[in-house]
Amino acid sequence: MSAKLEIRNLVKRFGGLVATNDVSFTVEPGQSIGLIGPNGAGKTTIFSQIMGEHQQSSGDILIDENEISRLSTPQRILAGVSRTYQVPRPFSDMSVAENIRVGLTPDSIWQMITRGPNPDRELELAESVGLAEEQLARLPSELSMGDLRKLEMARTLATAPRMMLLDEVFAGLTVNEIAVISKLVQSMRDDGMTFLIVSHDLKALEPLVDEAIAINQGQLIAEGSYSDVMADKAVRASYLGAE
């Protein structure tokens, strides 16, 4: 059920810039790890490489001991890993239900044509992230930021992941909305989902993670329990230096 993620010596160069510099870490099945670091540290770039949106310059990415570096994004999703985005960009001219429908669609042209949508499953997913039934027909432009994040979670969940990468899930949310999302993540953790979470809101992040990894300027600078990492000198220096 739960997936294991292993990153080995990951390097990504953009021209002369090294965005990821020899990073290695492992997320055990069912574990939840917080990925922290100042702005521009290279957190989102790591997500992009795990998902195959950017190809790493060198290094390995493994899901359940299988190398996925050569797979396309949809194939990686099939392998069990999905992500959300810092800025939710839903399909703007489609209703909430249709947005979720895209996530539920099988990657086969033939099945897309021959098999109709599953409205019950769409509703189920919407409700599982806390969206109400009457919101299904709304357009994304009519939703609050919190609801947009919920929609993004629902669409990601629709791909049936065993591991989720959450990118800045709390950005732009009210205190109440943060609580709702937290509860949602907690309940998924209880169900055995593996998580890698990026967040600037360290207070909200803390209760959701088992361990933390800190990176700065593309390099891993600390890993271990959340409190150990936060107490680390290099980590503190990187935050102070950047902000």
Partner 1 sequence: MGLRWHHFALWGLFAVTLFVLPEFVSRGTLRTLIFANFLAIFAISWDTLSGRTGYISFGHPFLIGIGAYTTAILTKRFDVAMEISIPIAVIATMVGGLIVLLPALRIKGSYFALVTLAMMELIYQLVQVIRPDLTGGTRGMSGLPTLTRGAVNGYYMSVSLMLAIALTTWLVMRTRLGTALSAIGMNEEAVSGSGLSVTKLKMAAFLFSAFIAGLGGAVYIHYLGSIAPRALFDINFVFTIIVAALIGGAGTTVGPIAGAFFLTFLLEYLRPYLPGAERYMVYSGLALILYMAQPKGMWELFFQGIAKFDRLGRRE
Q: Indicate whether 243 belongs to the interface with partner 1 (CB under 8 A).
A: no
Interface segment toward partner 1; rule CB under 8 A; list 100-108, 177-185, 204-212, 232-240: 100-108
Q: Which two tokens stand for residue 108?
A: 């086969």
Q: Indicate whether 121 belongs to the interface with partner 1 (CB under 8 A).
A: no
26-37 b/e (C-beta count within 10 Å ≥ 16 → b): ebeebbbbbbbb
Q: Which two tokens stand for residue 66?
A: 């299988």
Amino acid letter, 125: L
Instruction: Please state, in angstroms and rounded to a whole number, the distance separating the CA atoms of residues 195 and 210.
Output: 10
Provide the 8-state DSSP code for 208.
G
Our CB check for partner 1 shows the closer of 81 and 235 to be 81
Q: Which of residues 38-67 bind partner 1 (CB under 8 A)?
A: 51, 53
75-102 b/e (C-beta count within 10 Å ≥ 16 → b): ebbebbbbbbbeebebeeeebbbbbbbe
CB of 213 to partner 1, least distance (A): 23
Q: Indicate whether 155 belongs to the interface with partner 1 (CB under 8 A).
A: yes
CB of 234 to partner 1, least distance (A): 33
CA angle 103, 104, 105 (to 5 degrees): 95
Closest CA to 195 of 144, 153, 238, 145: 153
Interface segment toward partner 1; rule CB under 8 A; list 17-25, 35-43, 89-97, 141-149: 89-97
- Binds partner 1 (CB under 8 A): choice among 21, 26, 69, 73: 73
Q: Are 69 and 60 in contact (CB under 8 A)?
A: yes
Amino acid letter, 146: G
Interface segment toward partner 1; rule CB under 8 A; list 2-10, 112-120, 166-174, 227-235: 112-120
Closest CA to 101 of 134, 72, 125, 77: 125
Our CB check for partner 1 shows the closer of 110 and 241 to be 110
Our CB check for partner 1 shows the closer of 107 and 228 to be 107
Q: Indicate whether 72 belongs to the interface with partner 1 (CB under 8 A).
A: yes
**Which residues are near partner 1 by CB under 8 A?**
51, 53, 72-74, 77-78, 82-83, 85, 89-94, 98, 101-103, 105, 107, 109, 112-117, 155-156, 158-159
